[in-house]
Amino acid sequence: MIHTNASGAVESLGLLPDHASLIVHGPDRPGIVAAVADVLRDRGANIVTLGQHSDNPAGGAFFQRTVFHLPGLSAALAELEAGLDRVVRDGLGLTWRLRDLSTPLRVGILASKSDHCLLELLWRQRRGELPITVPAVISNHPDVADHVRFFGIPFFHVPSAGADREGPEKEMADLLVGNVDLVVLARYMRVLSGDFLNDVGVPVINIHHSFLPAFIGAGPYRKAKERGVKLIGATAHYVTEDLDEGPIIEQDVVRVSHAESVAELTRRGADVERQVLARAVLWHCQDRVIRHHNHTVVL
């Protein structure tokens, strides 16, 4: 069997043994960097990467991502977390979260007929470019089943049922809840209900086939052709109840001309969609993306 990630998974997925990423987020105030660095140093952790942002040093919001190396991380976690609670949460009034970077994220993928975004993710996962496992690909069409299974990944066909969203959504939630840390809509063409988003209970990333907020809704390449734009793009964003309005993680564009038909724009755009979605999923899985109001800070 060729595509197993059983042994050697650590290397092949870009996982980092004994490394963790720490996000600290909340109201800005003096001394946060020093306090966090002290907690880490006092427990023997070595800072590998530190990114920091303050949207207004005079009383705005503070964001920090710190990747550190700590030999024997799993054994040391409990004490470290207690320290963070005491110093960061109680002492500074900030929220923190910690992700063990030696463990892959479990990602469920929803697709429809298009395979380009789906295969890009599966191919990068197999190549070791995404620190994820994929317990399930679910589609409302059977078209991509063989290719998904060739990658050794379970495929589930959950047909749409016309106006009834509730049945298929319940079926999908049953497959996903408890089994995934993230859901990715890889050109899944149905609008998901707020109830489904609540039930699933993990972040959901969508790829929209336009440079949002231009061309919200259906048919963006046709609209782009009609408006005569000279660039087309794609946007990866977290899904909220407001369609195409969630926090943007990543965007990119490509130059087009009058000579390209809607079909050609669609093909050109597919290349952008693949790249943008892959970057957004990677950054989410590296815990580089912090949501704040309706924005993201990518550190």
**Which residues form the catalytic set?**
244
Backbone torsions φ then ψ of 270, nearest 5 degrees: -60, -35
Q: Are 62 and 28 in contact (CB under 8 A)?
A: yes
Minimum gap (Å) between residue 30 Cβ and a second copy: 4
Is residue 130 classed as helix, strand or coil in its secondary structure? coil
Give the CA angle between residues 235, 240, 203 to the nearest 5°. 85
Distances (CA, A) of 92 to 59, 86, 115, 131: 14, 9, 47, 32
Q: Are 125 and 186 in contact (CB under 8 A)?
A: no
Residues 3 to 22 in contact with a second copy, rule: CB under 8 A: none
97 or 113: CB nearest a second copy:
113
Could you say which of 146, 163, 164, 178 contacts a second copy (CB under 8 A)? 146
Q: Interface with a second copy includes 136 (CB under 8 A)?
A: no
Minimum gap (Å) between residue 22 Cβ and a second copy: 12
172 or 289: CB nearest a second copy:
289
Q: How many CB atoms lie within 10 A of CB 104?
A: 20
**What distance in Å separates the CA atoms of residue 10 and residue 285, rounded to the nearest whole number?**
15
Minimum gap (Å) between residue 162 Cβ and a second copy: 27
Could you say which of 162, 178, 228, 242 contacts a second copy (CB under 8 A)? 228
176 or 297: CB nearest a second copy:
297
Is residue 286 classed as helix, strand or coil in its secondary structure? coil
Residues 151 to 210 in contact with a second copy, rule: CB under 8 A: none
Q: How many CB atoms lie within 10 A of CB 81?
A: 12
Binding site for a second copy (CB under 8 A): 2, 30-34, 37-38, 40-41, 44-55, 57, 69, 115-116, 119, 123, 127, 129, 146-147, 150, 211-215, 227-231, 233, 247-248, 250-253, 257-259, 267, 271, 275, 294-298
